[in-house]
Amino acid sequence: MLVIGLTGGIGSGKTEVTHILRELGAVVIDADGIAHLSYRPGTPAYEAIVRLFGRDILDGSGVIDRGRLGTIVFSDPGSGRREKLEAIVWPATREWIEGRLAKEEGRGTRAVVIEVSKLFEAGWDQFVDVVWAVEVPPGDAGNSEIARRVQARSGFDEARTRERVAAQMTREERIERADLVIENAATLDFLREQVKTAWQTTRARSE
Ligand code: ATP
């Protein structure tokens, strides 16, 4: 079974790419979504996070409020808080994903795509077969385009988007390390054509 790791900068179009891949018949695992599930109340990760950050991060029903947690870990980059959170969440997420991959293998699935924004940072390039990076061209136009898309989708302002970008590897580093780069530089139709070609080529090579 071929495991494709799909990564890219914030708001670069990873989720759009997964929509296209699903239409093409791919099995897609959303690692960031799994990461959020990994710290539901009652999980070992939940206990560890509450021990680390205190009960102020909980909402009225005892669930970890991701907005509050995000503010704590991203607002003070030198504090090491984000790294501590990741050291809890990434292994829990990976364990779940490995279980899912074993199930897909048992089912005879031929290719699985894992969407994960911090693939290289988490060292997961070691556990996938190929890495695809979705990127927006650099420069002011590219940056403001990302800010505009992220704001439209998540309501983040520019400063908040910049904080998230600063916590990630640069576009250049991802491009250097990826096996294939999808430049999300134009319309969604253009993106679709690139993804189709990448999917067909990668699948053909893995057969
Ligand atoms: P995140 O890192 O925050 O999870 P992402 O990389 O998954 O983001 P998407 O959610 O796919 O990015 O895209 C961000 C926003 O930009 C979405 O609203 C999406 O529909 C829009 N978008 C992506 N690509 C294009 C494009 N080529 N043309 C127009 N809008 C686009």
What tens digit of pLDDT does each residue of 117-131 get? Answer: 999 999 999 999 999
Classify residue 44: in a domain, yes or no: yes
| Ligand 1 atom closest to 190 (CA) | 27
Classify residue 43: in a domain, yes or no: yes
Q: Which residues line ligand 1 (CB under 6 A)?
A: 8, 10-16, 117, 149-150, 152-153, 184, 187-188, 191
Classify residue 206: in a domain, yes or no: no
CATH number at residue 149: 3.40.50.300
Give the pLDDT confidence score for residue 185 in this predicted structure.
87
User: Do 32 and 55 meet the contact criterion of CB atoms below 8 Å apart?
Assistant: no
Classify residue 88: in a domain, yes or no: yes
How many C-beta atoms lie closer than 10 Å to residue 203's C-beta?
A: 16
Classify residue 189: in a domain, yes or no: yes
Classify residue 60: in a domain, yes or no: yes
Classify residue 171: in a domain, yes or no: yes
Q: Can you tell me the distance from the alpha carbon of 110 to that of 95, in angstroms, rounded to the nearest whole number? A: 21
Give the pLDDT confidence score for residue 143 in this predicted structure.
67
Question: Cα(149) to centroid of ligand 1, in Å?
Answer: 6
Classify residue 207: in a domain, yes or no: no
Residue to substitute in 149, 154, 189 for testing ligand 1 pocket (most ligand atoms within 8 angstroms of CB): 149
Q: Please count the structural domains in the chain.
A: 1
Question: Whole domain around residue 132: which residue ranges?
Answer: 2-199
The tens digit of pLDDT for each residue in 76-111 reads 888 899 999 999 999 999 999 999 999 999 999 999
**pLDDT exceeds 90 at position 150:** no
Q: Can you tell me the distance from the alpha carbon of 140 to that of 52, in angstroms, rounded to the nearest whole number? A: 38
Question: Distance of alpha carbon 171 from its chain centroid, rounded?
Answer: 14
